[in-house]
Structures are given as structure tokens and as C-alpha cells.
Amino acid sequence: MTEENTPPDLPALQRRLAEFAAARSWQPYHTPKNLVSALSVEAAELVEIFQWLTPEQSERVMDDPDSAHRVTDEVADVLAYLLQLCEVLGIDPRAALAAKIERNELRFPVGRNGD
């Protein structure tokens, strides 16, 4: 967090992740294939938390401090690998998401399917 207690922006987070990996000489292992595999594993760990919860329990998962901590950590792991993958592949995640939202707005217009 910065002095104003605001979270860093995505490029700053990507730089920190790259510096973290470089300081440990992990770059040779951070190939797209390996990053996608690690991302999948971390996403599965997030799924595991919710797997056997009822819909109602899943909506309250953040009410329990231990569960909230686990969910937050797994979300961070998923985001870390996704940001590293974007960095390696030269994808701007903000631009990619904005473009995808625009395509989805065209694909699924309001009013279709009873909305």
C-alpha cells in the first residue's frame, strides 16, 4: 500500500512481481505454459474453498475471518499469476478486459432473454 493507503495500480504490481521473480532468478521458469499451469492450480485452490458450500454459505464466506483470509490469499495468488502471464505475453490486462466487456455488451444486449 502507498502512503495514502491506496492499493498500487496494476503496472506497479506487475513490476513488483517481475522484480520478485528476477531477484530469485525464476524468469526461466516463468514461461507462458508454466504460468498458465500455476494459475490453474491456484484457481482450483480457490474453488476448493467453495466446493461443498451451499449458495447461502458461499455468500457469507467472508464473514468468517479464517475463511476470508484463505479466500483473499487464493484470490491474490490467482491475480499474481494472471498478471505475470500478461506481462510475459505483452497483454495489457485492463485493455483486454475493457475490450471483452465491450464485446459482451454487444453479444448480450439488455432486453434480450427477458432482461
Give, in order, the Cα–Cα distances in Å from 1 to each of 6, 47, 51, 78: 6, 27, 32, 19
As a whole number, the mean pLDDT across the chain is 94
pLDDT in tens, 59-114: 999 999 999 999 999 999 999 999 999 999 999 999 999 999 999 999 999 987 65
Residues 22, 70, 10, 78: is their CA dihedral positive or negative? positive
Q: Indicate whether 4 pLDDT > 90.
A: no
Domain ranges of the chain: 10-114
pLDDT score at 114: 54
For the segment(s) 10-114, the CATH number from 2.120.10.30, 3.10.20.30, 1.10.287.1080, 3.40.50.300 is 1.10.287.1080
Rounded Cα–Cα distance for residues 13 and 7 (Å): 9
The C-alpha torsion from 27 through 40 and 57 to 62, rounded to 10°, is 10
